[in-house]
Structure 1
Amino acid sequence: MSGVFNRVIPCLLLQDGGLVKTERFKKPKYVGDPINAIRIFNDKYVDELIFLDINASRLNKEPDYDLIARIAGECFMPLCYGGGIKTLEQARKLVAIGVEKISINSMAIYDLELIKQLVSELGSQSVVGAIDIKRNFWGKEYVYDASKSRLTNLNPQIHAQNLVDAGVGEIFINDVSRDGTFSGYNTALVSSIADKINVPLIVCGGASSIGDMQDVFMAGASAAAAGSLFVFYGPHRAVLINYPDYSIVKKLFSSNAA
């Protein structure tokens, strides 16, 4: 979707109170303290931050409100949170402690009514429909339920449109096969979804460079999200929280917004 300024968004994963990074949604590696990371990103003029708790839904736990309140209290930029949100009341509590956007993933697979409730209460601009996507044995892409570690039979393009019809203000997609691989975004998948929806599309999974982000914007994304690119540095993947200089980001991407 065009017509909005392209954003570059760190997508950070939480597990047991710490920051971790996965590869293809497996092998979580501890990479640091979330509060320290936020302070670094504050100094870098980051557009927005996404925090996803990778254990909450899988273990049927509520969001860690105390930790999220600390995170929200440190953020100078808009904060999106996902993980363990199953009810409107939980979303209300998150908004009350400073979360601007609520990301719903696994629950959206089975309960579009929750999406509608959140939109009615919080507004479309505060609700993000998140979709994990993975290929089956024959290479066909389907919606993946990370909370149950299983592939569904849902078509990603149709699911994205259903979420938009339910009222979400943005769609977030993550390609499981590219997560943490530095192999570039799945631009064909991005284009196929961007062509079907009329809300901003955030894309994650595979970023290795600024060039990859330019490619994904050309494919129709409104925001390029990344994890490994912003927490690892160099060929040996040393842990180093980083983000492109503000002037570089704006110079590279402002020309793509139309």
Structure 2
Amino acid sequence: MLSKRVIPCLDVRDGKLTKGIKFKGNVDIGDPVETARLYYEAGADELVFYDITASSEGRGIMLDVVDKVASQIFIPFSVGGGISTVEDMRAVLLAGAEKISVNSAAVKNPDIISQGAAAFGSQCVVVGMDVKKVPVSEAIPSGYEIVIHGGRKAMGLDAIDWAKTVEALGAGEICCNSIDADGAKTGYELTLTRLICEAVTIPVIASGGAGNPDHMADAVTTGKASAALIASIVHYGEYTIKQCKDHMAARGVKVRSVW
């Protein structure tokens, strides 16, 4: 059985590490490059970087941050935000990232998934999904709808159907983020995570809602995720990565040890 991964998420805005609740009220909390180095040294399995306003503001990719991070850490990391073409993907990978993450761009142009997979391999292509719980309808039979631009625009697209589609197009991994739970620290949206995991065969990262290590263990057991994305609980020093992993291991979850 593969080890479950613990992945700190670093939201970046204007070159600064930032964090909000449900994509709102973001405040700057530090330097993303220095924070990445600290998390690498603390035992993170991977890192995820999101330029949280690049897509909605039509800005370029934070290649300077990517390049600096790549010189400081020696674990895989993915980068999302502002990536909308194969050329964008290539630039991020050449700057040092192992994976690229597409979200809004993939919803608008699903071909970007297959184009990226063909050019760089499925293992490099992560599709991020921002999801909101909505009333069940003919268009949204699961009750989970895809939204873009930080949850500001609903797409009328069922999250489970979209997960199946992105796998078929060649995505190597899905990062499923609950907008409802994001930053609230009340636990992951386990039903959503489980439904996505049961619908696809590629790895799924649970995102949004981690408030303690129990939530993380729940995400990879009840939720069936391959990894737990975390942010607030480590950004603000509430838990160390070692504490998170030790607790998960005590719950019977296989994780890479931190010494």
TM-score by length of 1: 0.90
- Contact 1:217/1:256 (CA < 8 Å) preserved in 2? no
Percent of counterpart pairs with the same letter?
Answer: 31
Which letter maps to 1:79?
F
Q: 42, 46, 49: which one pairs with 2:47?
A: 49
Q: Secondary structure at the match of 1:174?
A: strand
The reply to whether residue 170 of structure 1 matches residue 173 of structure 2 is yes
Distance across 2 between alignment mates of 1:156 and 1:246? 29
Q: Secondary structure at the match of 1:103?
A: strand
Q: Secondary structure at the match of 2:57?
A: coil
2:72 corresponds in structure 1 to 74
Which letter maps to 1:172?
C
Which letter maps to 1:166?
L
Q: 184, 209, 229: which one pairs with 2:212?
A: 209
2:140 corresponds in structure 1 to none
2:2 corresponds in structure 1 to 4
Deviation of 1:4 (Å): 2.9
Q: 1:188 to 1:110 in 2, by over 3 A?
A: same
Q: 99, 110, 118: which one pairs with 2:116?
A: 118
Q: 1:43 to 1:148 in 2, by over 3 A?
A: closer
Aligned residues: 249
The reply to whether residue 223 of structure 1 matches residue 221 of structure 2 is no
Distance across 2 between alignment mates of 1:97 and 1:25? 27
2:86 corresponds in structure 1 to 88
Distance across 2 between alignment mates of 1:20 and 1:72? 20
Which structure has more RCO (C-alpha within 8 Å, separation ≥ 6)?
Answer: 1
Distance across 2 between alignment mates of 1:146 and 1:67? 21
2:130 corresponds in structure 1 to 132
Deviation of 1:253 (Å): 7.0
Runs of 5+ unmatched residues, structure 2:
138-142
Which letter maps to 1:27?
G
Q: Secondary structure at the match of 2:217?
A: helix
Q: Secondary structure at the match of 2:129?
A: strand
- Contact 1:130/1:172 (CA < 8 Å) preserved in 2? yes
Distance across 2 between alignment mates of 1:148 and 1:8? 24
2:199 corresponds in structure 1 to 196
